Amino acid sequence: MTVTGRQVNRARVAEIGAREEASYRDRTRKSASLFARARESMPLGVASSFQAYDPYPLFMTDARGSRITDADGNEYIDFDMAFGVLAAGHSHPLLAEALQHRVANGTCYTFPVEDGIALAEEIRARFGVGLVRFSNSGTEATMDAIRVARGYTGREKIIKFEGGYHGHHDDVLVSIQPPREAMGPVESPATVAASAGIPRSRIAETVIAPFNEPEMLEGILQAHAGEIAAILVEPVQFNIGVVPPKDGFLQRLRALADEHGIVLIFDEVKTGVVLAWGGAYEHYGVQPDLFCLAKSIGGGIPIGAFGGKREVMAAIETLEGTPAFSADARGSGIERSTIPGGATRVAHLGTFNGNPLSMTAGLVTLKQILTKDAYPRLHAMADRLTAESQAILDESGMPGYAINVGPKGCVMFTPGRVTNYRDFIGLDAELWGASFFYLANRGILLPPGPDDQWTLSVQHSDADIDRYIEVFGEFAAELTA
Ligand SMILES: Cc1ncc(COP(=O)(O)O)c(C=O)c1O
């Protein structure tokens, strides 16, 4: 694969971008008026700030299979798939049928259900682990996994990689896309709050490391010897486009975590049951101590899960026998009595955890839809989308490259390969914007941000891929005409 580094005609990019945004406004007047109404009741006019983009978001009414329809009746082939939630596609018939039965028979008991056991067993089989717990989102899954790691080790700091997104709790809402002037040196990046309202005391507990730089990580670990409870990593950085781990990087993380007595947590919210039947664990052959799941495991119903090694997850039952109670194993010299409040186990709670609706959704999605035989076709479709996008880029001279890992991919509009967040900063946002509106106006819906990627589902067809390629080819031809 080549990276061209060639320049496009900036005036042409601006002209197409402006024309396509005007056409978007013209086609989506109902969305514009709903947005004006929404702004009266909700900050930014949306329920989650991720849904807001300029000039206004599309408001949607219906979706099925690979298609989604907006409030003006425009139909799109959906390549966004709810930020990667829908590897099963929209409203899969098997899921729709099972959920109808569930909705008619109670959706929340706060008593356990057998489907929850079966879903935990399925996740254990896929990820080769001992114990699993359920939550309601990816945010909760990473928050809970971090607490388990802290309880288990008796340490308080965590390491997170620059450019990684792990949800919206305070510990991890830092250094997501920090401004260049605040980043600090690459070998010891600053911890930069990504939101107002995060206390300084929280920021002090999260140490930032550069992704794909194991030597620098080693230096950071040495500087914080005996302090780090967990290394939290998204195995492929999917929140700055698509940034895979360099060969051996995840293996190195595994070895460093073992050497320093640190809990290695894979955030598999986007990768789990999407890259492969057993997620990034299967795809890269590296096993973390804990992993976090959400998004695609529920087929479109809110759910989260985390799990891992029995001895680590057992901290939810008792801390007896964990490093937190053994100064030797921990090496930090903290005594048992310093655990705040003298707690003897890690709390994991939640009214909606394991509710029958999400348990049934997860079980049907994993046992009947995202089965082992689904993955070869997903990979083949995604590889073709990337190869044909790359051919268009090569021929047109547009700066950028196409990339996918399994069913998730994108065009990175950057002059060179991105291996971590600092390379990503050079991304050509204007070119990306022109392509987003051009494709949307022709029925190809991508995520509304250059930091996300397309996700293919079992309900996408070869004809859907053909149409994407056709429209992307037209965009390239107009751009370089
Ligand atoms: C890697 C990763 N982790 C965690 C989260 C948070 O998940 P949720 O939005 O369900 O809270 C996301 C959401 O995009 C994510 O991409």
Which tens digit of pLDDT belongs to each residue from 164-192?
A: 999 999 999 999 999 999 999 999 999 99
pLDDT averaged over 10-residue windows placed end to end, the chain, 481 residues: 61 97 98 98 97 97 98 98 98 98 96 98 96 98 98 96 98 97 97 97 96 98 97 98 98 98 98 98 98 98 98 95 70 51 89 98 98 98 98 93 98 94 94 97 97 97 98 96 84
Predicted TM-score (pTM) of the model is 0.96
pLDDT at 340 (0 to 100): 67
Query: Which residues are designated catalytic?
Result: 165, 267, 295
Helix axes 249-260, 214-223, angle to 10 degrees: 20
Mutate to test the pocket of ligand 1, among 46, 136, 233, 295 (most ligand atoms within 8 A of CB): 295
Q: Is 138 in the pocket of ligand 1 (CB under 6 A)?
A: yes
Question: For residue 116, how far is its CA from the centre of ligand 1 (angstroms)?
Answer: 22
pLDDT at 7 (0 to 100): 72
Q: How far is CA 371 from the centre of its chain?
A: 21
Q: Is 167 in the pocket of ligand 1 (CB under 6 A)?
A: yes
Which tokens go with 98?
């099972």
pLDDT at 326 (0 to 100): 73
Q: 471, 456, 468, 362: which is closest to 90 by C-alpha?
A: 456
Question: For residue 305, how far is its CA from the centre of ligand 1 (angstroms)?
Answer: 12
Question: For residue 435, how far is its CA from the centre of ligand 1 (angstroms)?
Answer: 25
Q: What does residue 458 show for φ and ψ, rounded to 5 degrees? A: -65, -10
Residue 159 and residue 374 in contact, taking contact as beta carbons nearer than 8 Å: no
Q: Is 322 in the pocket of ligand 1 (CB under 6 A)?
A: no
Which tokens go with 285?
């052959």
Residue type, 206: T
pLDDT at 464 (0 to 100): 98
pLDDT at 327 (0 to 100): 53
Instruction: Return d(Cα 266, Cα 122) in angstroms, integer.
Output: 18
